[in-house]
């Protein structure tokens, strides 16, 4: 952390902010996490702030309390928001038996179940991650990349022209098609089309406030009551989820009967044999697939929407991008644009919390078992001490510069960093290339769209409303 940041946090401490004096060369003593400043507003106001107005809520907290503060959004759980690079680094580097992520995934359990990689920690997480890695790297990545560019062409060509539309539903459909390639490769289940339709309808629940409710941990009678209140969408979600589960189970059975191998996720999981000779259960395979339907689609769809939101406000960036694409000699500026989009609009503004399972000192604060560390990608990426003029869209800041692993965290970090980060990057590049070489994009409304929660991600509040018009002249340089 630089000296400017140190001075800032010291000033905040004297004003009731973070109690740690960061101006000292090293912390000789530690303070308990309970001494960190607590956001004073009610739990309901904090939940609504994170759901409906996440950006102003986080900025106001940072201004009032500094780089560390506590929020009270879940009863009985001590959640500490952190956003100083050194704190984030120490969190990512902490031993696997000190911080766990699996226990923090309760809000998404209704989609993913409890048997996928997202729920595992320590040796179990390492083993599963190593086992499924081949479906996200190497030859599998090359196969998916080819499919991504072809899908981008087909998808963008099908988008409506000459009328205002929200980009999100179309982007989400595209990213779900990509995930079908990751999951099944060339061995598509016979129910693929029906599965795709049900998954898309099931995920519409993410736009409802009820999606934040952990009804999957409620007594059965309460869930029954919620299902009777049809406007909240719970009954429809659970009904469609049951259908998707049955179709995924049928796809697994079909693949087993075929004996077909492959580097797709299902093929890789079917090929796993543990040290004791056992194999992943059907529930484990289903939960990994359901996790990808959620995490592998929502995040990239959100990033596509944010790219439209930023690019349509910066025509000079669009022209420079088009010139690079048409020259066909490099994608350096396109890469910088994607980095900047993910800095300003990280789809997951608050990465998955880490639960402290063994006492740990981070930056002069002693965190106790049961504490949760919630790193804020939004605050980290918008800190003027990390990025000068942090709210400005300036892709040039990443030209010839690799993003820092502790100051740019749209994919998380450490041993739980997103497995699909490379695929997401290819999706963004392919989509932007196809859009900019075939279309002119206009904003439906001049005012910027603020961030709004869609359960696991944040998207532009209206889904990035744009008007797509055919370009008069199309360059062939973007073709792949």
**418 labeled binding residue:** yes
Give domain status of residue 212, yes or no: no
Structural domains of the chain, count: 1
Say what the pLDDT of residue 246 is: 97
For 253-270, the pLDDT digits (tens) are: 999 999 999 999 999 999
DSSP 3-state percent helix, strand, coil across the chain (nearest 5) = 55, 10, 35
pTM, two decimal places? 0.89
Q: Has residue 31 been placed in a domain? A: yes
pLDDT digits (tens, 9 = 90+) for 122-162: 999 999 999 999 999 999 999 999 999 999 999 999 999 99
Q: Is residue 456 part of a domain?
A: yes
Confidence check: pLDDT of 2 > 70: no
Gyration radius of the chain over CA positions: 23
Mean pLDDT of 435-441: 97
State the Cα–Cα distance between residues 209 and 205, nearest whole angstrom.
9
- Which pLDDT score is estimated for 477? 46
With a cut of 50, say whether residue 4 has pLDDT above it: no
Number of H-type helices and E-type strands within the chain = 17, 13
Q: In this predicted structure, what is the pLDDT of residue 24?
A: 40
Residue 48 lies in a domain: yes
Which residues form the domain of 79? Answer: 3-187+260-470
Residue that the structure tokens 């018009």 belong to: 469
The whole-number average pLDDT for the span 302-316 is: 97
d(CA 172, CA 297): 6
- In the sheet with 360-362, reading across from the earlier edge strand, the strands are 31-32, 365-367, 360-362
Mean pLDDT confidence for 436-456? 93
* CATH number reported for the structural domain that contains residue 23 in this entry: 1.10.630.10
479 part of a folded domain: no
Residue 255 lies in a domain: no
pLDDT in tens, 68-98: 999 998 888 999 999 999 999 999 999 999 9
* 11 pLDDT more than 90: no
Whether 269 is covered by a domain: the verdict is yes
**Predicted confidence band of residue 60 (pLDDT cuts 50, 70, 90):** very high
Per the structure block, which two tokens stand in for 190?
């016979």
Let me know if residue 232 belongs to a domain.
Answer: no
What is the pLDDT, as a whole number, of residue 306? 97
């Amino acid at each position: 952390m630089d000296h400017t940041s140190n001075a800032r946090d010291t000033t905040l401490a004297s004003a009731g902010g973070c109690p740690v004096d960061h101006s000292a060369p090293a912390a000789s003593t530690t303070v308990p996490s309970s001494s960190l400043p607590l956001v004073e507003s009610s739990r309901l106001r904090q939940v609504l702030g994170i759901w409906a107005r996440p950006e102003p809520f986080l900025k106001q907290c940072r201004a009032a309390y500094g780089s560390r503060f506590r929020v009270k959004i879940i009863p009985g759980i001590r959640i500490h928001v952190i956003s100083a690079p050194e704190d984030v680094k120490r969190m990512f580097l902490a031993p696997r038996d000190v911080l766990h992520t699996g226990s923090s995934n309760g809000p998404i359990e209704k989609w993913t179940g409890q048997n996928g990689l997202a729920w595992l920690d320590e040796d179990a997480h390492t083993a599963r991650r190593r086992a499924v890695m081949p479906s996200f790297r190497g030859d599998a990545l090359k196969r998916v990349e080819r499919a991504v560019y072809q899908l981008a062409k087909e998808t963008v060509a099908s988008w409506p022209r000459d009328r205002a539309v929200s980009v999100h539903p179309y982007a989400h459909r595209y990213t779900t098609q990509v995930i079908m390639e990751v999951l099944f490769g060339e061995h598509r289940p016979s129910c693929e089309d029906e599965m795709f339709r049900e998954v898309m309808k099931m995920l519409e629940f993410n736009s409802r406030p009820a999606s934040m409710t952990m009804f999957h941990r409620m007594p059965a009678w309460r869930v029954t009551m919620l299902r009777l209140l049809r406007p909240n969408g719970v009954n429809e979600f659970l009904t469609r989820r049951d259908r998707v589960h049955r179709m995924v189970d049928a796809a697994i059975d079909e693949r087993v009967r075929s004996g077909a191998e492959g580097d797709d996720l299902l093929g890789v999981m079917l090929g796993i044999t543990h040290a004791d000779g056992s194999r992943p259960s059907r529930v484990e395979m289903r939960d990994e697939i359901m996790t990808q339907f959620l995490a592998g689609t929502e995040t990239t769809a959100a990033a596509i929407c944010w790219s439209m939101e930023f690019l349509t406000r910066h025509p000079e960036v669009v022209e420079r991008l088009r010139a690079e694409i048409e020259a066909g000699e490099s994608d350096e500026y396109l890469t910088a644009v994607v980095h900047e989009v993910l800095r300003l609009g990280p789809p997951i503004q608050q990465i998955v919390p880490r639960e402290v399972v063994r006492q740990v000192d981070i930056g002069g604060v002693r965190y106790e078992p049961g504490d949760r560390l919630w790193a804020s990608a939004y605050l980290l990426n918008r800190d003027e001490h990390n990025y000068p003029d942090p709210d400005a869209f300036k892709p040039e800041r990443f030209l010839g510069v690799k993003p820092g692993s502790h100051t740019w965290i749209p994919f998380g970090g450490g041993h739980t960093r997103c497995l699909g980060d490379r695929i997401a990057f290819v999706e963004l590049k392919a989509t932007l290339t196809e859009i900019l070489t075939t279309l002119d994009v206009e904003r439906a409304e001049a005012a910027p769209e603020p961030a709004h929660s869609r359960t696991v991600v944040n998207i532009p509040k209206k889904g990035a409303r744009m008007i797509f018009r055919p370009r008069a002249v199309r360059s062939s340089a973007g073709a792949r």
